[in-house]
Amino acid sequence: MIEAGRVAVNGKIAGVATNVTPRDRVTVDGTPLPAPEAARMWLYHKPAGLVTTERDEKGRETVFGALRPTLGRVLSVGRLDLTSEGLLLLTNDGDLKRRLELPETGWLRRYRVRVNGHPSEAALETLRAGIEIEGERFAPMQVTLDREIGANAWLTVGLREGRNREVRRAMEAVDLRVGRLIRTSYGPFQLGKLAARSEERRVGKECRSRWSPYH
């Protein structure tokens, strides 16, 4: 559009290297650009079986396909893998998304994890001290054993990184296999009793009712 001469800044046709500040008036085909939409955030309870991408090359159902079209463009803050559940933050603001994903933000992500096996105190201490897997160093995790039920155990895990499959890989490294993983909080945001929804109409309603626009 710029190369076609359709964009103007303060009444002058813009070039490809034009600097624009918030004070400048930008028009396209003579029509002023609308004011940016206020930053908004929603809490979403992701069920297992949804992919956290806009499109999936394998044709699997995605988180974004379950949202109401009236929400407009929505981005996820980080990801949860296909089989993981729980709290996913959604926002319409790309800068907010990037800030919340930065390691420097240091927000604690907390998970409820069901593992197959009997976690020993030595295994938990290994995770608490930080573990190295295939040359990749994982930061220390907060790990507590909640209860054991037969061949399974429930753990609460807290971490401040967002590496790919971090909890699952760390558990496998100490001979524990994850059967279920639920993110219960992301920094100050809590999953609470927010119900999981995959139906298009219910998702937007649940998210809005649980969290007002975040500015």
As averages over each run of 10 residues, the pLDDT of the chain (215 residues) reads 94 90 93 87 93 83 84 89 94 91 86 96 96 90 96 96 88 96 95 71 38 35
Q: 3-state SS of 52-77?
A: CCCCCCCCCCECHHHCCHHHCCCEEE
pLDDT of 53: 84
Give all domains of the chain, ordered by start, each with its CATH number: 1-35 (3.10.290.10), 41-103+194-210 (3.30.70.580), 108-186 (3.30.70.1560)
The answer to whether the CB of 1 falls within 8 A of the CB of 18 is no
- 181 forms bridges with which residues in the sheet? 113
pLDDT (0 to 100) of residue 30: 94
Q: Which amino acids are annotated catalytic?
A: 81
Q: pLDDT at position 143, please?
A: 97
109-130: b (≥16 Cβ within 10 Å) or e: bbbbbbbebebeeebbebbeee
Instruction: State residue 197's pLDDT score.
Output: 61
Helix and strand numbers, DSSP H then E, in the chain: 4, 14
